[in-house]
Amino acid sequence: MRTGFLRNDGDPKKRKGLVLLSVLLVSLFLLTASTGFALFARRSVRAFDGRQRAFTARMVCEASLPAAKALLELHPGKGHAPGDEVFSPRILGFPEAGVTVEMTITPLNGRFPLNGIFLPDGRTVRSELAGPWRRLWRRAGAENIEAAVLDFLDGDGEPRLGGGERDGYLNRPLLSLNELLFVPGMTADILYGTETRPGIAPLVTLRSDGKINANTALPEVLALLDGLDGNIAADLVRARETRVFTSMEDLSAVPSFPASARAQLMNVLSFTSSHFRVSFTVGFADGQKTPLEVILERKGSAAETVRWEEP
């Protein structure tokens, strides 16, 4: 009779070999299983630790945010400049959580207001920004897509001369600069630049009240404005290093500033900022750091949270 067991009258060497092979296979299976479980457990612990750190970082940043708002609300408001004490980095300690937080406030109105290009009708380009808009795209070597970008952003479905509406166009303000990559003809090189040609990204902002802060504006941005050029922009930057601009009279006091530009720039230049980025770096005891950012908008004397962002 046959059974599923080895016969006792078989070759003892064969039986020993089969037993040894079985033991090896079982050992290999157990080793593989234990290794897999260990890897799974390690990944689970890391994932849990990551979530816990992210939660801790968010909580201490939320606890620090009122301090940032208070600093902005207490600012006298005559002018926001890089040298303002309110924009100095600050270190906040949370010993009960075992972390420290470095907090820095940065005004955001120093660049071209991409979401402020239109009048309230959502279609008509603001006259004071029409020239700077053309120069922005010319600087990037992308004049051919300037009208298409306007069609992409404006609030209606009517095509512009040289543009052309398409299905899928946003027809709304941008939430992220990367949304511009959906414009036909737009490339990452045009948006972010190359080693040989600048892109538009460093010169634009999505967060502003539609005006450019003369105290924080990049010289390249000032040079785009009607009536100004690179030399005048450089003079303005040098002048604001010794005093904060608070009015058009302060700009007019710079010898190279043309009197004719004053009226042209009244509706495009300001001396304070409406939007600010609060950058947090949360440092843990083991040296790991977690960055978080918050966008604030100052309305009157109050600072309100616009959104949390990942850097």
β-sheet bridge partners, residue 269: 212
The predicted-structure confidence for 17-43, as pLDDT tens digits, reads as follows 666 666 666 666 666 656 655 555 566
pLDDT class of 5 with cuts at 50, 70, 90: very low
The predicted-structure confidence for 171-220, as pLDDT tens digits, reads as follows 999 999 999 999 999 999 999 999 999 999 999 999 999 999 999 999 99
- Residue range 81-94: average pLDDT? 90
Edge-first strand order for the sheet with 289-299 is: 90-94, 99-107, 275-284, 289-299, 302-309
Alpha-carbon span 181 to 6, nearest angstrom: 71
194-199 long-range contacts (CB < 8 A, ≥24 apart) are 197/140, 197/141, 198/139, 198/140, 199/140
Question: Residues near 300 by Cβ (< 8 Å), separated by ≥ 6?
Answer: none
Say how many C-beta atoms besides its own lie within 10 A of residue 136's C-beta. 22
Cβ-contact 177, 117 below 8 angstroms: no
Cβ-contact 140, 197 below 8 angstroms: yes
At residue 311, the pLDDT reads: 66
At residue 37, the pLDDT reads: 54
Whole-angstrom CA distances from 178 to 46, 164, 264 are 31, 20, 31
- Residue range 149-166: average pLDDT? 91
At residue 11, the pLDDT reads: 61
At residue 21, the pLDDT reads: 63
Domains of the chain (ranges plus CATH)?
65-108+274-309 (3.30.1300.30), 116-202 (1.10.40.60)
Alpha-carbon span 141 to 200, nearest angstrom: 10
Cβ-contact 115, 275 below 8 angstroms: no
